[in-house]
Amino acid sequence: MLKLYPPIDTNRSGRLRVSDLHEIYWEESGNPDGIPVIGVHGGPGGGSSPEMRRFFDPKLYRIILFDQRGCGRSTPHSELEENDTWALVSDMERIREALGVDKWVVFGGSWGSTLSLSYAVTHTERVLGLILRGIFLITEAEIQWFYQDGASRIFPDAFDRYVTPIPEEERGDLLTAFHKRLTGSDRRARIEAAKAWACWEGETISIKGPDSRPAKFEEDSFADAFARIECHYFVNKGFFPEDGWLLKQAKEKLGGVPGIIVHGRYDVVTPIGTAWQLTKAWPDAKLHIVPDAGHSSLDPGIVDQLITATRAFAKKFS
């Protein structure tokens, strides 16, 4: 089974002013003359991490990462103004132009798959191919499943902790209840809600369950940006014109664009049915179902298939 490549340092990094309010962090590592790839982190609000560099052979890829608006090393932290899907798509184009990239591979998981697809249907001519994990299209069904009551049937212990900040009378619409607290003026209530929201995802991402929750999901700063920005996007339905819009766009615009999709069979955060629908709508994408994995990009079977995918694309585009 393939494992992550060894840790590497960045070759260069910088900050890009994308509006009067927002400045985003970007970095490059690997081979400056290699195949350009942009890594699109999850959340939204999750920020990039050094581990993302390790899915690519640094001798073959020019690895570009960035922190989306309001999170990671981008500023202002946890900011919701001027923060939507189409602003982030525009930011990716600004990075491409600033770094002198003609076309690139787009690599993203979870919300990163959403943004990668949004970019690809908008700037198809700039995409060599897509490598996606944990497909998520921000449909009403997906939101209801994970943030209202569906996943509670599989993780009832974690779900009870998730809803703790919300009074019983408001639990009929958890998204609205959390949004009220995450955007309210009560700092203590905001952080309590943010940590409950973040830990819910942290406790359900791996097939190993709550005991494998990454420590960062309990950190105030990370949880605040992660929960606020996610909830902001989900309340606004991804800023898409209609429910199911992204799937329709993929069917219309991604013909001829090669894709590799990796999805855990037991992914509770973004159930596999959405990936199945996308594969049927996009015949040029190949779906690899990992039989013993959940949502986490670091589940061993997911790592193996993602690195297999980056190696396949390296051969295809070198």
Q: What is the DSSP string of 237-265?
A: GGG-SSTTHHHHHHHHH-TT--EEEEEET
Question: Domain range holding 168?
Answer: 141-238
Task: Write out the chain's pLDDT in tens, 318 residues.
Answer: 999 999 999 999 999 999 999 999 999 999 999 999 999 999 999 999 999 999 999 999 999 999 999 999 999 999 999 999 999 999 999 999 999 999 999 999 999 999 999 999 999 999 999 999 999 999 999 999 999 999 999 999 999 999 999 999 999 999 999 999 999 999 999 999 999 999 999 999 999 989 889 999 999 999 999 999 999 999 999 999 999 999 999 999 999 999 999 999 999 999 999 999 999 999 999 999 999 999 999 999 999 999 999 999 999 998
Of the residues 238, 267, 288, the one at which a domain ends: 238
Cα R_g (the chain), whole angstroms = 18
Is 297 within 8 Å of 109 (Cβ atoms)? yes
Strand partners, 16: 24
Q: 234 and 171, same structural domain?
A: yes
Looking up tokens 């570009």 gives: 64
Q: 267 and 206, same structural domain?
A: no
Q: Which residues of 257-272 are buried (b: 16+ CB within 10 A; e: fewer)?
A: bbbbbbbbebbbbbbb
Question: Would you say the C-alpha torsion 70, 296, 62, 138 has a positive or negative sign?
Answer: negative
Q: What is the pLDDT of residue 243?
A: 98
Q: 262 and 133, same structural domain?
A: yes
CA proximity to 99, closest of 21, 8, 33, 42? 33
**CATH of residue 24:** 3.40.50.1820
Answer whether residue 2 is part of any domain.
no
Of the residues 238, 254, 286, the one at which a domain ends: 238
**SS3 for 24-37, per residue?**
EEEEEEECCCCEEE
Which residues have a catalytic role annotated? Answer: 110, 267, 295
Q: 245 and 129, same structural domain?
A: yes
Q: What is the DSSP string of 36-97?
A: EEEEE-STTTT---GGGGGGS-TTTEEEEEEPPTTSTT-BSTT--TT-SHHHHHHHHHHHHH
Answer whether residue 34 is part of any domain.
yes
Q: Whole-angstrom Cα distance, residue 195 to residue 164?
A: 11
Q: What tens digit of pLDDT does each residue of 97-132 get?
A: 999 999 999 999 999 999 999 999 999 999 999 999
Answer whether residue 198 is part of any domain.
yes
Q: What tens digit of pLDDT does each residue of 176-189 get?
A: 999 999 999 999 99
Answer whether residue 6 is part of any domain.
no
Q: 268 and 131, same structural domain?
A: yes
- Both tokens assigned to 5: 């490549």
Q: 231 and 307, same structural domain?
A: no
Does this model's pTM top 0.85? My answer is yes
Q: Is 200 exposed, middle or buried (0-12, 13-18, 19+ CB in 10 A)?
A: buried
Answer whether residue 19 is part of any domain.
yes
**Count of structural domains within the chain:** 2
Q: 266 and 163, same structural domain?
A: no
Of the residues 238, 271, 297, the one at which a domain ends: 238
Q: Whole-angstrom Cα distance, residue 78 to residue 236?
A: 16
Structure letter (DSSP) for residue 125? G
CA proximity to 37, closest of 14, 13, 55? 55
